[in-house]
Amino acid sequence: MLELVTFPAAFGMRNVSPFCLKAEMLLTSLDEPFTLREEADPRKAPKGKLPYLIIDDECLADSELIVEYLDMTTQGRVYAGLSARDKGIGVALTRLAEDHLYWMMVASRWLDDGWWPNVVEGFFGAVPKLIRPVIASGARKQVRRTYHLHGLGRHTAEEQAGFAKRDLEALNGAVDGKTFLFGDTPNVFDFAISAMMAGIYDNQPGTWLTELAQPHEGLHAYTRRVQDHVGVYGRSPG
């Protein structure tokens, strides 16, 4: 039995990480038997991040490596029916979502002073009150440093909003008029994009990035449609 290790619920999300949600969607869509286990401290993960997949007492960390492992063990079912062009477009859109837009989602949660108390409560609520501010502040400094090293953190808030708008417009254009990206059933690339957008649309309360995404009604409908099809949701039930 496979075991997928993910973050616990936070911000009105039962699956707060788009990478964890993508992996859960893919496992479900493939009908692979698996269990979920929550881990609040990603430092305990093999590479210091979640998700990771436990396979016969071996750990496989990183959602993309999990995708490739599942493609191998299911004899190519992950990418079945996709042309080289489809896969190229899918990888490019996934990179846009996971390596660019994702960091602005992180910043909208962690680095916005007005939203920061939600992070303290959602991620550090179990830490004793006496040391909670110190632990949370240290983690926030690390996020700020990483965001700066990425490059996005070197820009003004207005410039970051511009980058986010262009990312959202690109994703909205990619799914415009389509049920799913490449046919009548969603695939791993739909899971990647919808998982990212679920984290933007459904986290509570909304962030500045949520506000930017709201006008893209087609992208919002697509995000719900993918989750409905596979029966796996980012938001908490109810």
Please report which confidence band the pLDDT of residue 1 belongs to, taking 50, 70 and 90 as the band edges: confident
Q: Using CB atoms within 10 Å of the CB of residue 119, give its burial: 0 to 12 exposed, 13 to 18 middle, 19+ buried.
A: buried
Residue 238 has pLDDT above 90, yes or no: no
Please report which confidence band the pLDDT of residue 60 belongs to, taking 50, 70 and 90 as the band edges: very high
Return the CATH number of the domain spanning residue range 2-230.
1.20.1050.130
Q: If you average pLDDT over residues 49-67, what whole number do you get? A: 96
pLDDT digits (tens, 9 = 90+) for 140-172: 999 999 999 999 999 999 999 999 999 999 999
Please report which confidence band the pLDDT of residue 65 belongs to, taking 50, 70 and 90 as the band edges: very high
Please report which confidence band the pLDDT of residue 225 belongs to, taking 50, 70 and 90 as the band edges: very high
> How confident is the model at residue 211, as a pLDDT?
98
Q: Letter for the amino acid at 3?
A: E
Smallest Cα–Cα separation from 208: which of 167, 172, 173, 164?
Answer: 164
- For residue 20, give the H/E element and its range: helix 18-29
For the chain, the structural domain boundaries read 2-230
What distances in angstroms separate CA 159 from CA 46, 73, 98, one per listed residue? 35, 43, 19
